[in-house]
């Protein structure tokens, strides 16, 4: 199983960006941990980060053609604003999990709306970089070989 892990805008600044909210781990640190955890899931992972909405939409569209079986996405601020990312995920019709480092439901009101949530197979929030690992494990157990046994 091939899982695409997408990071939205400003997540390239992790480690330096509001560490009281997002922690001290860098994106590279998180990806190292996710790669290690992926070994136990039987899923291969590929990562992509973009600050631009169109780049994320294009990478999601590409997932239709490149053998991707599922997506773990932290859409970051686009969670709350992007009809385009929602439509791209609906178009490719691959199972996806929405993840967040913080718990947006415990933050400002504008973060308490997700334009993706009702399409997601599941959501994981509030566990820092571990949210990605929990999301990956959940997605792989949903779509992996064990799911059809
Ligand atoms: C975030 C939460 C979003 O509200 C915010 O815009 C982000 C990061 C998180 O991982 O906690 O950039 O998705």
In the chain, the domains with their CATH numbers are 2-147 (3.40.50.9100)
- Going by CA atoms, what residue is nearest to atom 1 of ligand 1? 76
> pTM, whole model, 2 decimals?
0.96
Integer angstrom CA distances of residue 106 from 21, 28, 57, 100, 113: 11, 26, 28, 12, 11
Q: Is 80 exceeded by the pLDDT of residue 145? A: no
Show the tokens assigned to 140. Answer: 């792989």
Q: What pLDDT, on the 0 to 100 scale, is given for residue 149?
A: 55
pLDDT tens per residue across span 90-114: 999 999 999 999 999 999 999 999 9
pLDDT tens per residue across span 40-52: 998 999 999 999 9
- Reported as a pLDDT band with limits 50, 70 and 90, residue 148 is low
Pocket lining: 10 vs ligand 1, CB cutoff 6 Å: yes
Q: What pLDDT, on the 0 to 100 scale, is given for residue 144?
A: 83
Pocket lining: 99 vs ligand 1, CB cutoff 6 Å: no
């Amino acid at each position: 199983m091939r899982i695409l892990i997408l990071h939205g805008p400003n997540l390239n600044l992790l480690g330096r960006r509001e560490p009281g909210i997002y922690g001290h781990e860098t994106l590279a640190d998180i990806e190292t941990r996710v790669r290690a955890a992926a070994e136990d899931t039987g899923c291969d992972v590929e990562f992509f980060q973009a600050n631009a909405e169109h780049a994320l939409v294009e990478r999601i569209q590409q997932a239709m053609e490149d053998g991707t079986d599922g997506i773990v996405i932290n859409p970051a601020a686009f969670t709350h604003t992007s009809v385009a990312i929602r439509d791209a995920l609906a178009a490719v019709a691959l199972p996806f999990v929405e993840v967040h480092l913080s718990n947006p439901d415990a933050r400002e009101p504008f973060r308490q709306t997700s334009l993706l949530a009702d399409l997601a197979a599941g959501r994981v929030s509030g566990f820092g970089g571990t949210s990605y690992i929990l999301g990956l494990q959940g997605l792989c157990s949903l779509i992996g070989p064990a799911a059809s046994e």
